């Protein structure tokens, strides 16, 4: 369990599958992530979900985001962990819209970045988000990320953002 004043990040559990299925089949959320909404049935999804929990990946670390009173509001992940390059990619989705624009995303990003730099030897965390997802970009900037390039993939324009350990250390020293 990773704690901050506003949220807690914990390992995924089978009971999360209902929320996760609802969020992954939501067309509006899928659009913000530039992916098609999931179309698989819930029983199939649940079976794959259970396998994923039984055989966790060494390069992908998904976590549930809970409010401090234990409500599951979304998920975050660091994945594509590359020990040789010393980097990983970060992802986040607050599926419950009632919790948007209340600082939960920024707090999750800040908390997860600090956890990664404190608990691993990784030196760089990067991410991508849609060029017109201003909410996400603001959240990531407040979490210490800087845009470094734009790319077009499958007809979508993304901004790539990153934070290096050194920048994070400087930000820590300022607070
Ligand atoms: C993107 C996401 C993680 C951000 O988390 P959040 O808790 O909503 O964000 P925060 O409240 O920490 O910060 C959002 C900021 O963007 C601002 N904002 C919201 N809409 C905006 C817009 N259209 N233009 C500019 N700023 C905007 C908010 O006011 C807030 O800034 P403030 O704190 O200075 O007022 C969350 O909304 C989410 O998961 N959305 C759905 C999925 C998604 O977009 N995924 C893409 C991730 S790559």
pLDDT tens profile 25-36: 999 999 999 999
135 lines ligand 1 (CB under 6 A): yes
Q: How many CA atoms lie within 13 A of 90 on its CB side?
A: 29
Q: How far is CA 143 from CA 50, 63, 129, 163, in A?
A: 32, 17, 14, 9
Question: Which residue minimizes the CA distance to atom 33 of ligand 1?
Answer: 103
How far is residue 94's CA from residue 97's CA, in Å, rounded to a whole number?
7
103 lines ligand 1 (CB under 6 A): yes
Residue whose CB lies within 8 A of the most ligand 1 atoms, among 26, 101, 103, for a mutation test? 101
Task: Compute, in angstroms, the gap from residue 99 CA to the centroid of ligand 1.
Answer: 10
Sheet with 156-164: strands ordered across:
2-3, 7-11, 60-67, 72-82, 87-94, 124-130, 156-164, 146-153
| Residues forming a β-bridge with 94 | 74
Q: What is the pTM of this model?
A: 0.97
DSSP code string of 118-134: HHS---EEEEEEETT-H
Mean per-residue pLDDT, 130-143: 98
The tokens describing 139, both together, are 């959240």
Atom of ligand 1 nearest to the CA of 102: 11
Task: Compute, in angstroms, the gap from residue 145 CA to the centroid of ligand 1.
Answer: 14
Per-residue pLDDT of 75-104, as tens digits, reads 999 999 999 999 999 999 999 999 999 999
Residue 5, pLDDT score: 86
């Amino acid at each position: 369990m990773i704690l901050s004043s506003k949220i807690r990040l914990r390992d995924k559990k089978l009971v999360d599958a209902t929320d996760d299925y609802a969020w992954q089949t939501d067309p509006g959320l899928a659009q913000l992530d530039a992916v098609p909404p999931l179309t698989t049935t819930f029983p199939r999804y649940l079976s794959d979900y259970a396998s994923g929990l039984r055989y966790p990946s060494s390069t992908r670390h998904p976590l549930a985001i809970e409010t401090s009173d234990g409500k599951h509001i979304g998920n975050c992940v660091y994945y594509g962990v590359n020990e040789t390059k010393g980097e990983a990619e970060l992802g986040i989705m607050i599926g419950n819209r009632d919790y948007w624009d209340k600082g939960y995303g920024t707090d999750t990003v800040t908390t997860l970045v600090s956890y990664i730099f404190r608990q691993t030897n990784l030196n760089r965390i990067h991410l991508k988000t849609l060029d017109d997802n201003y909410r996400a970009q603001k959240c990531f900037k407040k979490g210490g990320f800087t845009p470094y390039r734009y790319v077009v993939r499958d007809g979508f324009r993304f901004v790539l953002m990153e934070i290096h350990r050194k920048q994070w250390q400087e930000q820590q020293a300022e607070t």
